C-alpha cells in the first residue's frame, strides 16, 4: 500500500489480489479516517472522516433521509440549527422512487435534494429483510416485490453497486442479509455465508466501476453473524479483508436484548483495527449512543429522533418527555432550557402539547427538530469530554437522567 499526495489531497492506492477470482487491479479512494483523541478509561475516541463533500467529526449521529428527505425538517435547519454533518439515504426506497433515471438525470442524490455535505446510503438489505413475505434470497441475489405497487425486482451485489453509483453517496454499504435477532445458529450460519459471498462480488464490481459525478466514493463492508460470537468473529475477519477506511456493524437492534448488542460490540472492538471507522447501523436511543461510543463506535443512524418525535416523544438532558401528557397542558416554560435548537427557546411545552392534541403537522416538525438537535448535541458533548479526558465519568453522570421519564 502506498500514498500519493496530489494538490494536497491524499489518495490511497491499494493492490488487492486476495481472491483468485479478482483481477489484478489498483483502485483509488479518497475517504480518510484519522483518530484525534482516545479516552483513557474506555474505547471511546474522536476522529475525522474526510470526504469530497466535507469533513465529518466523530463520534457522529447521522439523520435518516430515507427517500431524499429527513421527515419534516428543512435542509437549511439540518445545517444551521441541527448541525448535521452527514445524512443518510436508502438504496431500496430511492431505487423504487424516484428511480434511477431521474436520479442520474439530476446528477445524483446530492444535486437532486440540494444537499452539499456527505451522504451515506444503506444498500437496502435491511428493508428487503423487513419484507420477509414478499422476498426470496438466493446465491445470485435477492428477488423482492415493491411495497408500492407489487412489481418484482432483483438486487444482486453487482447491480446494487451500480445503483449506489447512480445515487452517488460518498459512503456506500455492501449488500448483505440482515437476519433476525432471534435467528438460530444454523440460519445465521447460512445467512453469513451468503453475506460473505455477496461481499466478495460487491467489492470486485465496486473496484471495476467508477464514480459518475466527479467525486470519489467508498464503501463499507457489513459485519453480520447475529448474536453468535463465533459467527461475528468470522464475519469481522472476512469483512476486514475488504474494508478501506471503515466498516459497518449490522444486524443489531433487530430484536435481540440490548445487553447482547453491547456484548457484540465488546467482542468486535479488539478485532477491528483502530484505523477503521466503525458504524453501528440503526442504533438507537441517546443511551445506546453513549454506550456504543464507550465501546469504540464512531458513527450512528436511527429514525428514532424523528419517528418518536412525530409521536410526541422528546429526548432531553433531563429525561424523556411525552408531550401528550396532561401535565404539560399549562406549562408555559421553554420547551427545553438546555436545548440547542431555536425551537427549544421559541415554543413552550404547553404550546407543543396543544399542537399534538390538535393533530397539527407542525407538532411533529418541532419535535423532530428538537430531537435531532439533541442527538447531535449528545455526540458533540461526547467528543468534548473524550478530548477533556473525562468521558467515562461524564457518561456515568448523565445516563440516569437521559433515561428517566419526566
CA atoms lying within 13 Å on the CB side of residue 164 = 35
Phi, psi dihedral angles at 138 (to 5 degrees): -140, 175
What is the helix, strand, coil percentage profile of the chain, to 5?
Answer: 40, 20, 40
Within 13 Å of residue 269, how many CA atoms lie on the same side as its CB? 19
Q: What is the DSSP string of 51-72?
A: ETTEEEEESEEE-B-TTSS-TT
Q: Looking at 122, 170, 176, 344, which residue is catalytic? A: 122
CB 195 within 8 A of CB 177: yes
For residue 112, which of 122, 123, 100, 120 has the smallest C-alpha distance? 100
Query: In whole angstroms, how large is the CA radius of gyration of the chain?
Result: 21
Nearest to 54 by CA among 127, 97, 118: 118
Does the annotation count 197 as an active-site position?
no
Annotated catalytic residue, options 176, 298, 301, 377 = 301
Residue with cell 439515504: 89
**344 is an active site residue:** no
Tell me which residues are annotated as active site.
Answer: 122, 301
Amino acid at each position: 500500500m502506498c500514498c500519493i499526495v496530489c494538490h494536497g489531497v491524499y489518495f490511497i492506492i491499494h493492490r488487492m489480489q486476495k481472491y483468485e477470482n479478482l483481477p489484478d487491479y489498483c483502485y483509488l479512494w479518497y475517504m480518510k479516517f484519522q483518530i484525534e483523541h482516545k479516552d483513557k478509561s474506555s474505547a471511546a475516541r474522536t476522529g475525522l472522516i474526510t470526504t469530497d463533500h466535507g469533513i465529518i467529526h466523530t463520534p457522529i449521529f447521522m439523520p435518516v433521509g430515507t427517500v431524499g428527505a429527513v421527515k419534516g425538517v428543512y435542509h437549511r435547519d439540518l445545517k444551521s440549527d441541527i448541525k448535521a454533518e452527514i445524512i443518510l439515504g436508502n438504496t431500496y426506497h430511492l431505487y423504487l422512487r424516484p428511480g434511477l433515471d431521474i436520479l442520474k438525470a439530476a446528477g445524483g442524490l446530492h444535486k437532486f435534494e440540494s444537499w452539499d455535505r456527505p451522504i451515506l446510503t444503506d444498500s437496502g438489505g435491511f428493508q428487503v429483510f423487513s419484507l420477509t413475505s414478499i422476498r426470496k434470497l438466493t446465491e445470485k441475489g435477492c428477488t423482492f416485490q415493491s411495497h408500492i405497487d407489487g412489481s418484482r425486482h432483483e438486487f444482486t451485489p453487482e447491480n446494487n453497486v451500480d445503483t449506489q453509483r447512480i445515487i452517488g453517496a460518498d459512503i456506500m454499504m455492501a449488500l448483505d442479509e440482515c437476519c433476525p435477532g432471534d435467528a438460530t445458529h444454523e440460519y445465521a450460519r447460512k445467512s453469513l455465508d451468503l453475506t460473505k459471498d455477496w461481499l466478495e462480488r460487491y467489492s470486485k464490481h465496486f473496484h471495476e466501476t467508477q464514480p459518475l459525478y466527479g467525486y470519489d466514493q467508498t464503501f463499507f463492508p457489513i459485519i453480520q453473524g447475529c448474536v453468535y460470537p463465533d459467527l461475528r468473529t468470522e464475519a469481522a475477519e472476512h469483512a476486514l479483508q475488504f474494508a478501506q477506511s471503515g466498516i459497518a456493524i449490522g444486524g443489531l437492534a433487530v430484536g435481540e436484548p440490548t445487553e447482547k448488542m453491547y456484548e457484540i460490540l465488546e467482542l468486535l472492538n479488539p478485532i477491528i483495527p483502530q484505523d477503521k471507522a466503525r458504524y453501528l447501523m440503526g442504533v438507537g436511543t441517546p443511551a445506546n449512543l453513549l454506550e456504543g461510543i464507550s465501546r469504540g463506535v464512531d458513527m450512528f443512524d436511527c429514525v428514532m429522533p424523528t419517528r418518536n418525535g412525530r409521536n410526541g416523544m422528546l429526548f432531553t438532558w433531563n429525561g424523556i418527555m411525552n408531550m401528550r401528557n396532561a401535565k404539560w397542558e399549562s406549562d408555559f416554560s421553554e420547551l427545553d432550557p438546555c436545548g440547542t435548537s431555536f425551537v427549544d427557546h421559541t415554543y413552550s411545552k404547553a404550546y407543543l402539547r396543544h399542537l399534538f392534541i390538535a393533530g397539527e403537522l407542525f407538532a411533529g416538525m418541532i419535535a423532530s427538530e428538537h430531537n435531532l438537535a439533541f442527538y447531535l448535541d449528545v455526540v458533540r458533548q461526547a467528543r468534548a469530554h473524550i478530548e477533556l479526558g473525562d468521558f467515562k465519568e461524564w457518561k456515568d453522570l448523565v445516563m440516569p437522567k437521559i433515561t428517566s421519564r419526566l
